[in-house]
Structures are given as C-alpha cells and as structure tokens.
Structure 1
Amino acid sequence: MVVLAINLAFAALIIIPLALLIDQHVLPIKGGPLTAKMPLWFLVIVVLIVVPIVEEMLFRYPLKFARNRALKIAVYGSSVIFALVHMSNYDNREILFYLLAPVIVGSQLVGGFLMAYLRLKHGLRWSILMHAVFNAVIIVPITLSIHGKIVIDAHSPQYSLVVTQYAFSERPEHIRIFRQETGIDTVHVRQANLQHIVDLIGTPNGWYVDDALVDIDFKATSPISPDSLISLLGQRFRMIPQIVPNGLDTLTGGGNSKNKAAE
C-alpha cells in the first residue's frame, strides 16, 4: 500500500532520526505513562487493536459527515488535533519541547492526513488497518528498544546509583529503602513507579515526578539526605517540588530520618 509506505518511510527516515538528534543533543525526550504499567501481552493488544480502532473512530469516522469546504476544515483540524493529542505521550513540559513539537509528533501529523485520505477514499477499515500496521512496525519496536534501558549510571567515591527504566511491567513491585539516623544509605527497587519511590524517600506528595517504571540500585558509603538522593534522580527525571524543601544537603550531609526499611 503506497500510503502506508509513505507514512512508514517518513517516520523511519525523517522523524525518528530527527527525534534522536533532539533527544541526544538538544532536549531529552521523556516518554510518558502510556505503557509503563502494562504487561507485554496487554500492551500489544492495546497498541495494535484498541488504539487504532478508538483513535480512528474519534478522528476519522466523523469525516463522513462533512461536505465541501467543511470537509477540508475537518481533515486539517482532525489531523492537527490528532498530532497534538500525541504530545501527551511525553512528560516534557519545557517551552523548547513545544517549539519542537512539529518534529516530535510529525509522523502523527502526516499520518493523520494520510489516514484521512484512506478513510475518505476507501473506508474506515483501511485507515484502522494502516494505523495498526504503523504501530506494529514503528511503535512496538521502539517500545521494545527502550525497555530495560539504563538511564542513570553514576558512580563516585561517595555513592553509586544505577537506574533502569522499563516500557512495560514484567514482575511484581519490590522496594527496600534503608535509613540511618543521618539519612539513606541503600535503595533497592525493582519495577516500581518512580512517583511512589520519591514519596517514600522524601515527603509524601512533596514532589511531582515523571511517570516512569524503574529499577533503582543505590548505595552510599555514608548516608545522604532524602533531598540529595532525589536531586540525583533529577539528573534524568523531572522533579517539581510541590512544597519548598528544607534545603538540599550535600551528598554526605545529614537528615533527621529515623531508622526505617520500606518494603
């Protein structure tokens, strides 16, 4: 199918390379919460069946009711909105992200126009099929490629921190946080939500955090304060304080935490 080939080629040869360049050299692109809590089998069902049907019903099905000039407006409007909606797939909120949005969601924008053409020319089932095939060829492999990716690998004489991010759930959550009188010295996490972890480390609901499924392995030679550990996690993940912290201690600074292990 020529229309599908055009969409795939545009995404693979233009949009994905540009997005990688942006991610590596301009602004880290942070994937959002779409799949993080799903097992792989459920992710495949959602991405290949549920999403194509629901989105085509929402964005392309109504085109059958538009005529003449209204049809042109409907095609442009539905395609642009379709692309903008996909910005919610990302956790970025920087102004630069919005300026780069035409590139980041460029494949959805072009795909919206192409699927509108298929819907009007051949029927809704063909736009659904194109949507499903695009997700199978582009979205699923990208999701698998970022699954199990180490996003923080930091080591110093004072501490070591390794954080691995997952695109989908593989096993039950496991959390252990060891505290001393002067702070936290060990964190061992397996496939837990980062917001939940930060709430356990610091003040509950004290930070707004990127929605991510992670492993965390942290070990300090001497305990560090909760805010210092959260600051280290902020190397990769967006951390927005909902309250004003009491000040970031140094990596060897103290806290007033009680002895505790969270599991």
Structure 2
Amino acid sequence: MLEKVLVFLKNPVRPDQIKPLSFKEFFILLGAVLVVVIPYALVLEQLDLELDHALEELMKQYKWLVVIGAIILAPLLEEPAFRMPLDFKAKSIYWGIGLSILFMSELWFIPLGYMGYLFFVLMKIKDGQPPSLKSAILISSVFFGLVHLGNYQGFDWVDQFYVIPVLVGAQFLLGLVLSYIRINHGLKAAMLFHGAYNAIILIPAAIFETA
C-alpha cells in the first residue's frame, strides 16, 4: 500500500475508475502518516521557536467545539478547496477559488496566491494545456501547508522565513497523501481520512493536555 502511494507520487496517473478505499488501506495509510507526524510534532516542540499555536488557546476555552470543528468542518472546507481542483474541471476550480476566501488571515497573501494559481490553472485548461498532475499535487500541497501558518500567533513571515518548511512539513505530507486518496478513491474518502487524522491528533489533546 505504501509503495503504491510512493509510486503514484513519483509519477501520478489518473485511474480509469475511482475505487472505494478499503478499511485496511485506510488504516494502513492513517497509521503510516501518524508514525511520521507524531514524532515530528514532538521534535517541533523541542525546537522552542517561541511561537504560540492558536489552537492551544482556543482549546483552553472551547476544546470540544474546536475538536468537532476540526473533525467535521475542516475536512468539509479544506478538501474541496485544495483537493477538488485536482480533477482539472472548471466547476471544481471555481469551488477552490471561492473557498480560498475563507482562509484569509493575517497572512492573507497565501490564500490570495493560491487563488491566483487556480486562475492560472483554469486559463491553461481552457487553452487545452493543463498543467501536469504532479505539479498540481505538489503546489496544492504546498499551499495547504502554508495556509496553516495562520495557526501560529506572532509568526513573522520575514524574520522567521527559514522555519517555514519545519512548521508546515506535516501538513505538506498530509496534503500529498490526501491528494493520492482524492484522485484514486474520491473526494469523500479524502474528507473521511482528513477527519480521522484530526480526530486522532486532537481528541487525546482535549482529554489529557487541556483537561
């Protein structure tokens, strides 16, 4: 299963038919992502980057509301915004452009840049020269990661530019896996995977860390 994902990411090809993601494949993929992300998060905490995560403050006051939002609302918004346009259909791209507005924050230029990229893809498709699927997966995953910089309070884009790959590495990896799922198993499967990932990350935090 993992080899299949790596082969796909090296040379993405659309399947002739979208197939359901089996429970076995779902949990193998989820486990593989968590095996990478959880140690990565622990190392990130030890770096002492002097950045506060907005979710930590929200969890102190509205922890279960935040958890429910992350499990249900985040996949419903982020997957159509970042993964739906991977089918290179005009309607999907317009959905991505529209939903990108919801990610505006202090770092407003990141979703604005993503919207500009989607308009570029739309123009290329109308000209009969769509971008490669590989580049689309990489770029959408990069923007998916960069949007999450808005979670860090006090982040200085200029002075702390060098730590960006470290801060968004986990989200970039997740974006790649979700892209594989979206293309091969459909958008709903990507939403379910995204929700399950957020649940495993946040529910223990809500129970043990902010109790």
- Normalised-by-shorter TM-score class: 0.5 to 0.7
Shift, 1:29, TM fit: 2.5
2 CA distance for matches of 1:145 and 1:98? 33
Question: Taking structure 1 as reference, are residues 85 and 107 closer, same or farther at Cα in structure 2, changes over 3 Å only?
Answer: same
Once the two structures are superposed, what CA deviation does each residue of 1:6-25 show, in whole Å capped at 9, x if it has no partner? 21111012x112211112xx
**How large is the RMSD of aligned CA atoms in angstroms?**
2.5
Shift, 1:56, TM fit: 0.4
Question: Taking structure 1 as reference, are residues 35 and 47 closer, same or farther at Cα in structure 2, changes over 3 Å only?
Answer: farther
What secondary structure, in the 3-state scheme, does the structure 2 residue paired with 1:39 have? helix
Q: Structure with the greater relative contact order (CA < 8 A, sep ≥ 6): 1 or 2?
A: 2
Shift, 1:82, TM fit: 0.2
- Tell me, which stretches of 5 or more residues in structure 1 are unaligned? 149-263
Output the amino acid matched with 1:32. Answer: A
Output the amino acid matched with 1:36. Answer: L
What count of residue pairs does the alignment treat as equivalent?
A: 144
2 CA distance for matches of 1:6 and 1:32? 27
**In terms of Rg, which structure is larger?**
1
Matched, 1:71 2:133: yes
Corresponding residue for residue 183 of structure 2? 120
Which of 118, 121, 137 is the aligned partner of 2:200? 137
Corresponding residue for residue 170 of structure 1? none
What secondary structure, in the 3-state scheme, does the structure 2 residue paired with 1:100 have? helix
Which of 64, 70, 80 is the aligned partner of 1:57? 80
Corresponding residue for residue 11 of structure 1? 37
What secondary structure, in the 3-state scheme, does the structure 1 residue paired with 2:52 have? coil
Q: Which has the higher helix share?
A: 2
Corresponding residue for residue 93 of structure 1? 155
Once the two structures are superposed, what CA deviation does each residue of 1:52-84 show, in whole Å capped at 9, x if it has no partner? 111001000111126874322211111000000
Q: Which has the higher strand share?
A: 1
2 CA distance for matches of 1:40 and 1:18? 24
Corresponding residue for residue 20 of structure 1? 45
**What's the TM-score once normalised by structure 2's chain length?**
0.60
The alignment-based identity, stated in percent, is: 31
Corresponding residue for residue 157 of structure 1? none
Shift, 1:101, TM fit: 1.9
What secondary structure, in the 3-state scheme, does the structure 2 residue paired with 1:105 have? helix
Question: Taking structure 1 as reference, are residues 85 and 144 closer, same or farther at Cα in structure 2, changes over 3 Å only?
Answer: farther
Question: Taking structure 1 as reference, are residues 63 and 90 closer, same or farther at Cα in structure 2, changes over 3 Å only?
Answer: same
**What's the TM-score once normalised by structure 1's chain length?**
0.49
2 CA distance for matches of 1:147 and 1:72? 40
What secondary structure, in the 3-state scheme, does the structure 1 residue paired with 2:54 have? coil
Question: Taking structure 1 as reference, are residues 92 and 129 closer, same or farther at Cα in structure 2, changes over 3 Å only?
Answer: same
Output the amino acid matched with 2:141. Answer: S
